Amino acid sequence: MPSVVTAMLGALDVREGMRVLEVGTGTGWNAGLMAHRLGPDRVVSVEIDAAVAAQARAALARAGLEPEVVHGDGYEGWAAGAPYDRVIVTAGVREVSPHWLAQARPGGVLLAPWGSHYSDQDALVRLTRAPDGSASGPFLRMVEFMKLRAQRLDWDRFGGHVTSFPGDARVSSTTVVLPDLGGRYDAARFVAGLCMRDCAHVVNETERGGARAWFFDLRSRSWAAAEFHPDAPEATVYQRGARRLWAEVENALTWWADQGRPGVERFGLTVAPDGGTTPWLGEPGNVLPDYAAG
């Protein structure tokens, strides 16, 4: 963890005289590095777990570094210390808090591991805060962080989606193969999540080396499943509900292939002052398709 966090610090570009807010104190390592560089009175770090916050405070004191460690919900930021030149979030987020934007200075930078609920993947995003309270910037690299509390996906919410399998689901076939869906740090998976809002997916192994990929809508009970077998030329697809989730997967993968399969660092994100997100490719005006919108 320290190596990823230290790499994040490089991307954050903290300089003398700046004030920094960190969300997720953890061990205190990162807060300690920043306090060493900027001075303890310029760094505030918020940790939701009281015991973890106390341990970090003690460890930092032993090292002779005493940034302000606050026990609280970092989603709220820490208004008492605002405005900040830099906001660094060291937990994976599914939502950029409007408080972080409001507490950053215009021109300030917000760095966070951000992703959609499609998977556990995060990509480090470096947002620059505009005078109107929005923020925009590129993704830098794939990472995977422990998620911010309250932004973790509760899989129990899908308990009522598949009442019988396959039941009356529509059945079709596909030439998409399992690797096309992308692995843990692959852009294919991340980009599908950008183009398919409010969808979660998981891949389970099945008998004889097969796999079933599940897709669940977060807003309705629509679901889809694709069954892959190593000895079958095509996978079997099941879809149920108003949202055709497998059709969206195919659309997203086709769109990404048509763009030349760009890596995650070619993409970026714009965040409105209320936290609404718009992903883009190359430049902020080139907005990604949103297949959930139809």
Ligand X SMILES: C[S@@+](CC[C@H](N)C(=O)[O-])C[C@H]1O[C@@H](n2cnc3c(N)ncnc32)[C@H](O)[C@@H]1O
Question: Residues interacting with ligand X, by CB under 6 A?
Answer: 1, 5, 23-24, 26-27, 29-30, 46-49, 52, 73-75, 90-91, 145-146, 148-149
Rounded distance, CA 225 to CA 21, Å? 42
Q: Do residues 87 and 111 lie in contact, with contact meaning Cβ atoms separated by under 8 Å?
A: yes
Q: Smaller CB distance to ligand X: residue 27 or 128?
A: 27
Q: Smaller CB distance to ligand X: residue 44 or 199?
A: 44
Rounded distance, CA 85 to CA 107, Å? 8
Contacts of 37 (CB under 8 A, 6+ apart): 14, 16
Distance in Å, CB of 13 to ligand X, minimum: 17
Q: Smaller CB distance to ligand X: residue 46 or 213?
A: 46
Rounded distance, CA 141 to CA 154, Å? 26
Distance in Å, CB of 67 to ligand X, minimum: 11
Q: Smaller CB distance to ligand X: residue 77 or 182?
A: 77
Rounded distance, CA 150 to CA 148, Å? 6
Is-cis flag, bond preceding 166, omega within 30?
Answer: yes
Residue listed under structure tokens 């004191």: 61
3-class DSSP assignment, residue 257: helix
Distance in Å, CB of 123 to ligand X, minimum: 16
Q: Smaller CB distance to ligand X: residue 76 or 265?
A: 76
